[in-house]
Structure 1
Amino acid sequence: MTVATARAHPNIALVKYWGKADAASNLPATGSLSMTLDIFPTTTTVRIVDRDLDRVVFNGAEREGTVRDRVVRFLDHVRLLAGREDRAEVITENTVPSAAGLASSASGFAALAQAASTAYGLALDDRSLSRLARRGSGSAARSVIPRFAVWHAGSDEQSFAEPVQAPPIEMVIATVDAREKAVSSRDAMQRTAMTSPFYPAWVTSTAQTLESALEACRSGDLERLGRITETNALRMHAAIQGSDPSIRYLTPRSWAIFDAVAQLRGEGVLAWATADAGPNVCVISPPEHTAAVAERIGALADVVIARPGPGVRLQETDA
C-alpha cells in the first residue's frame, strides 16, 4: 500500500504525564491514565511520492519550520523501521484547537503513526503502534487506545499504552481560550524538570497516584478516581508554576471553573475538574450528572460534552 488514511482522537489525562525520563525517545518519568474522547478528531493521509523531500500540509496550508521538522523526524523513524527511503506527502485535517492544552499533538501523531506505518508497509499491533506514536508525542501513545488507557513508564520496549476499565464517565470540556499558548508543553516540561523545586516530589507522588487511580478503576470507585484526578492536575500546575521563570497556564476564568465544580460537589453533583498544560478545563462526572455540570460551567466558558471514544482507526482512502 502506498497511501493510507487514519483518524485518531485526543485524550485527556486523569493522571498526568509531565516530565521525561528520556527526551529522545519520549519516555515518561512516570506512567499516566487517560480518557480518549469521541470528539475533535484528527484525520491524516500519508502518500508515498516520487520526490526528493517530504511535503507536510496542515489544515490546507503547506507547513515549514518546526511543524514540518517534527513530522519529517517521525517519518525518518518509520522509514528506518520499514527499511525504506521513499519520501511522503502528509495531509492532516485537525479539529482540535492546536497548542491550547487540548491534546492536539496526541491525536495528530496517533493518526500519523497509523497512516505512515501502513503506507510504508508495517503491520503493527496496538502495543507496537502505541510505542511508535509515543516517538512523535508522548501522549499520542494513549490516543492509539480506545476509551481509557494506562501508559507505562520504563524502557522503550516497556513504554506503551494499553486499555483499562473505568467507571462510567463523561467529560465536559470548557474552552477558556483556544489560542496557541505562549509556552509549548515540550518547553514547559523541560523547564519544570530543570528548575522547579517541586518536580522531584511530583514524580514520586504521581507514581503513587497512578497506582491509587488504577485501584479506583478496578473497583469502580468514581468518587475516589475523581478526587485523584483533580488533585493530580493541581499538583502538576503547582510544579509548573514553580519553574524559573514561572509558567502560569491557568487563568482567572480557569480557576473560576475549578471553584464552580467544587460548589457543584457541595450541592451533591458529582464532578471533578482537571486541566492539561493550558487554560482550558475538563470536568469529569457520571453520565447522569453531566447535563447539570455543562449548564453551570456553560455560564463561564464555551462547553462541549465528550464521551469515551475510539482508538486510532484506518479510514477508506481515495488512491
Structure 2
Amino acid sequence: MVDQSIVGQHLESVGRATATANFALSKYWGKQTGGVQQPAVPSISVGIQGLTAEAEVRLNYGTNQEHEIRIAGNPANEKTCRRIETLLDAVFAHSGRKAQAIIRSDTRFPIAAGLASSAAGMAAVAGAAWIAAGLDPGDRSAIADCARLGSGSACRSVHDGYVAWEPTDDGSIIRQVASADHWPLELCLVRLDDRPKKVSSADGMLHCMETSPVWSSWVERAFLDAVEIEQAILDKDLEKLADLVEANCLLMHATTLTARPPIFYMQGRTLQVMETVTSLRRDGLPCFFTVDAGPNVKVFTAPGTAQTIKTALEDMAPIDVYAIGGGLTAEESSI
C-alpha cells in the first residue's frame, strides 16, 4: 500500500516510477479508426536499458484544483496535458476516486527525435500514478493499458524484453514474447540528429493512412511480419530477423515517402548508415538496422558483437551502445 499522510486538510499520496524506451522491430504505424490509441497493425519491440524516463506523481484528494504537469522542469504543452489527463482518468477509474495530480517527469535522452522518449515518459507517468493511487503494481496489463492512452507505444515500455502489441476486435492486447535473457541482443544507436522531428509520429501515421497509395500493402504485410518476427526471436535466428526487420522498416517508410505531401523522416546520412550496415552483414558481421519516425539508426547486433560494429561505424556519427531489457520499475514513496 502506498504511503499516505494528511497534508493540511487533504489526503496526499506519492508514487515514483522509471521506465525505459522500447524500439520496434516490427512497427506500430497506423491507428484503428475511432479507437483511442489502438493500433491498426501488430508490432513487436524490445526494451533498451539506459534510455530511461523518470516520473513522480503526487495525488491530492479533496481539492478541485487543476492538474499540474511539468516535463523536464517546464510546463507541459497542451497536447501532452490532454494525453496525460486521459491517462489519469483511466487510473482513477481503476481506483474509484479522483484527485488533483502534480506530475514531474524527466527523460534522460533527447525527446521527439525518434528515440521513443514519449513511450518511456508516459509509461513512467502511468506507473507512478498507479502506485500513488494505491493500486497493485503487479497488474502490468492494466498499467500498460493506461500508459497506451498517453502514447500508444508506451504500453510496450511497461514490460521487460521482447513485447508484442496486437489489435483485437475490441481494442488491443499487450504481451511479453520473451525476456531479454532469452536472446540478449545488443544495440548500437547511431545518433545523427537529436533535434525534435518536424512531424510527430501521431500526425505522420494519420497523414500516411489518408494519403499514401501503399497503405493497404503496409497493413497487410505488417500482420505477416509480426508473426514471422516473433518466431525468429523465439528461434534466435538473426539472419531471418535481419531480413524481416529491415524490410518492415523500409515498407513503413515507403508510406511516408509516398504520402502527399511526403514526409522525410530519414536523412541522407540515414541511408548511408543503412547501406553500410547491410554491407557489414554481407561481410559476415551479425547486425541489422531499423529506423523509426526520425533520422537516427538503431543497429542491433548479436550478443557480444556491439563494440565491433561500433568500431566499423564510428566514423559516420556518434554511437552509443546499449543492452536490451528495461521495462517499468514502480516504487512506493513517502511524503
Which band: TM-score by shorter chain?
over 0.9
CA distance in structure 2 between the partners assigned to 1:9 and 1:254 by the alignment: 24
Q: 1:131 maps to what in 2?
A: 145
Matched, 1:169 2:180: no
How far does residue 248 in structure 1 lie from its aligned partner after superposition?
0.9
**Cα 1:155–1:81 shift into 2, 3 Å:** farther
Q: 2:134 maps to what in 1?
A: 121
Matched, 1:31 2:42: yes
CA distance in structure 2 between the partners assigned to 1:279 and 1:58 by the alignment: 23
Equivalent pair of 2:132/2:332 in contact (CA under 8 Å): no
Consecutive unaligned residues of structure 1, counting only runs of 5 or more, are none
How far does residue 70 in structure 1 lie from its aligned partner after superposition?
2.0
Match of 2:229 among 191, 209, 213: 213
Aligned residue for 1:101, secondary structure, equals coil
Q: Which moved more, 1:193-202 or 1:66-75?
A: 66-75
How far does residue 75 in structure 1 lie from its aligned partner after superposition?
1.5
Equivalent residues in 2 for 1:34-49, closer than 5 Å: 34-49=45-60
Q: 2:6 maps to what in 1?
A: none
CA distance in structure 2 between the partners assigned to 1:298 and 1:174 by the alignment: 8
Q: 1:145 maps to what in 2?
A: 159
* Structure with greater strand percent: 2
Equivalent residues in 2 for 1:69-80, closer than 5 Å: 69-80=82-93
How far does residue 121 in structure 1 lie from its aligned partner after superposition?
2.4
Match of 2:270 among 254, 257, 282: 254
Deviation per CA, 1:223-250: give whole Å up to 9, x if none: 1111111111111111111111100100
Q: 1:112 maps to what in 2?
A: 125
Q: Which moved more, 1:305-314 or 1:118-127?
A: 118-127
Equivalent pair of 2:59/2:100 in contact (CA under 8 Å): yes
Equivalent pair of 2:131/2:332 in contact (CA under 8 Å): no
Match of 1:223 among 200, 223, 239: 239
Aligned residue for 2:152, secondary structure, equals coil
Q: Which moved more, 1:2-11 or 1:120-129?
A: 120-129
CA distance in structure 2 between the partners assigned to 1:203 and 1:160 by the alignment: 19
Q: Identity of paired residues, percent?
A: 32
- Residue type of the partner of 2:105? T
Aligned residue for 1:96, secondary structure, equals coil
Taking structure 1 as the reference length, what is the TM-score of the superposition?
Answer: 0.95
How far does residue 310 in structure 1 lie from its aligned partner after superposition?
2.3
Match of 1:89 among 94, 98, 102: 102
Match of 1:193 among 209, 215, 238: 209
Match of 1:5 among 3, 16, 21: 16
Q: 2:10 maps to what in 1?
A: none
**Cα 1:96–1:318 shift into 2, 3 Å:** farther
Equivalent pair of 2:35/2:171 in contact (CA under 8 Å): no
Q: 1:232 maps to what in 2?
A: 248
Taking structure 2 as the reference length, what is the TM-score of the superposition?
Answer: 0.91
Aligned residue for 1:39, secondary structure, equals strand
How far does residue 157 in structure 1 lie from its aligned partner after superposition?
6.0
Q: 1:54 maps to what in 2?
A: 67
Deviation per CA, 1:202-243: give whole Å up to 9, x if none: 010010011111111222211111111111111111111111
Equivalent pair of 1:271/1:284 in contact (CA under 8 Å): yes
CA distance in structure 2 between the partners assigned to 1:144 and 1:176 by the alignment: 27
How far does residue 158 in structure 1 lie from its aligned partner after superposition?
4.2
**Cα 1:208–1:198 shift into 2, 3 Å:** same
**Cα 1:75–1:304 shift into 2, 3 Å:** same
Aligned residue for 1:249, secondary structure, equals coil
